Structure 1
């Protein structure tokens, strides 16, 4: 039986796979590649600092006992009890960046009436992939209980790149069984240039610090759990955000995941930004694309 997942990576060398998942090496608007990444982090850092200085926020809230198991809440005191919530998970190959530089999208979303919660988690090589997924699940448990207690009508989870992967993994959890909250509380997700099949990252500079084996990569891949995600997401609102100039592998990851969900009867909105590369999607989509806020604010 032919797999619905692209498995051409199995015939690719380590060097070829690493290039596909190294977006900074594909673009020329800033060079060298290291400066490209530094520029991206600098923009996000500046935007996040401005958010923390200008918005009502509660920082460094512990959701677990470990040092980086913390989250920041923007608008929790000033927005109405029923306001929708977006939980954001940062990217960075599960090894870079952090909560501290990931609240850059809070100003436009909070001004629209959306509470923003930025989730921190430990990164490779300190922890492996299953532990990262476990930490994020712990954070979402904390947030869903908090949202339920305050009377929030909806919670969304979203993220960029590695954060898109982690957000998609949270869609596979039956939160009603886990926490006893309404099945309608986790209302949907915004997946920005996510990674939904981790197997191409095995035996790469990205996968090695995460101690990724083929079995672990498959078990921690949203595509492995697509049937569960589809079953739990019949009435959720899902959005996949892509960039026309992202690498072929990143685009293929989003396309095949969307197609698999649609095949199972789950509608998914797709926004494909013309001329945007892997980093521009995250830098600009949260503020430029009103469809994200409109979807989160919709009561349908």
Structure 2
């Protein structure tokens, strides 16, 4: 497939999965987490009487310049079947949004979600590509600057970009207009002086065979997919 066709197929797969989830789930759509027009989220809520209800916040990819929460509910069906709430977060992609704004938005979205869904048993993050970068930035937040410190029990970072400096000289940076200073302060790899393992966090690295950058996340619609099982296992749901 040509590069443009790969992107189109990816967007189509995610949109179809999201439409399917919306047809099956109880949803709360376009819930504001801030005052900005792009600061909205969608919640996919399982039918369950259990008090053990984990919540996964999903941050979409798209090189910070395409995709949206409208294509980000695709993974909800297999997770809802296990009693998991899925929240897809929107943020202002470039050129409307810059990197500092996007990072600020996803951090604030996490605080808002925890305050709105205070009954959840555990908060988890999942992000793909640029969304994995944003999830990593959430993990490196100095929460003393906020009125609330969320307890994040786990994170699932899929095919992320953790050093933004190599992007500066590429076409990806044209709409982002990042300077070196912006790239450094928004690179998770520059913000963590020691490894996550050294801080006592349980870390695993998975090399998922027979996938590419796009199919690795698209397949989360399948309850039998390796990463779906791992995500549920992380939450104690499998």
TM value normalised by structure 2: 0.91
Q: Does 2:129 align with 1:161?
A: yes
Q: Equivalent residue of 2:83, what SS? A: coil
> Where does structure 2 lack aligned partners over 5 or more consecutive residues?
none
1:130 to 1:176, Cα distance in 2 relative to 1, 3 A: closer
Question: What is the rounded CA distance, in whole Å, between the counterparts of 1:117 and 1:210 in structure 2?
Answer: 25
Residue 144 of structure 1: how far off its partner (Å) = 1.7
CA contact (8 A) 1:57 1:76 kept: no
- Within the candidate set 218, 222, 227, 2:188 is matched to 222
The answer on whether the counterparts of 1:165 and 1:194 sit within 8 Å (CA) in structure 2 is yes
SS at 1:271's partner residue?
coil
Give 2:68's match in structure 1, choosing from 98, 105, 114: 98
Shift in alpha-carbon separation, 1:121–1:177, aligned structure 2, 3 A: closer
Of the two, which has the highest radius of gyration?
Answer: 1
Among candidates 141, 147, 151, match of residue 173 of structure 1: 141
* Cα distance between partner residues in 2 of 1:179 and 1:152: 19
1:36-185 matches, cutoff 5 A = 36-75=6-45, 78=48, 80-148=50-118, 151-175=119-143, 178-181=146-149, 185=151
Q: Displacement, 1:67?
A: 1.4
1:283 aligns with 2:218: yes
Shift of 1:172: 1.2
In the alignment, which residue of structure 1 is the partner of 2:176?
Answer: 210
Richer in helix (by share): 1
Pair 1:271 & 2:206 matched: yes
| Distance in 2 of aligned mates of 1:53 and 1:136 | 26
- Using the size of structure 1 for normalisation, the TM-score is 0.73
Q: Name the CA distance, whole Å, in 1 between partners of 2:221 and 2:163.
A: 24
Q: Which SS does the other structure have where 2:111 is aligned?
A: helix
Deviation at 1:266, TM superposition (A): 3.2
Which of 197, 213, 223 is the matching residue for 1:262? 197
4+ runs deviating over 6 angstroms: none
Distance 2:132 2:108 in 1: 17
In structure 2, the partner of 1:296 is 235
Deviation at 1:207, TM superposition (A): 1.4
Q: How far does residue 82 in structure 1 lie from its aligned partner after superposition?
A: 3.9
8 Å Cα contact 2:46-2:83 kept in structure 1:
no
The Cα of 1:177 is off from its aligned counterpart by 6.6
**What's the CA shift string for 1:264-289, capped at 9, x where partnerless?**
55331222111211111111146312
Give the CA RMSD over aligned residues: 2.1
- Residue correspondences, number: 234
The answer for the alignment partner of 1:236 in structure 2 is none
Give the C-alpha shift of residue 113 in structure 1.
Answer: 1.4
Structure 1, gaps ≥5 residues long: 1-30, 231-259
Q: CA deviation at 1:215?
A: 1.2
Partners of 1:102 and 1:37 in 2: CA distance: 15
Shift of 1:81: 4.8
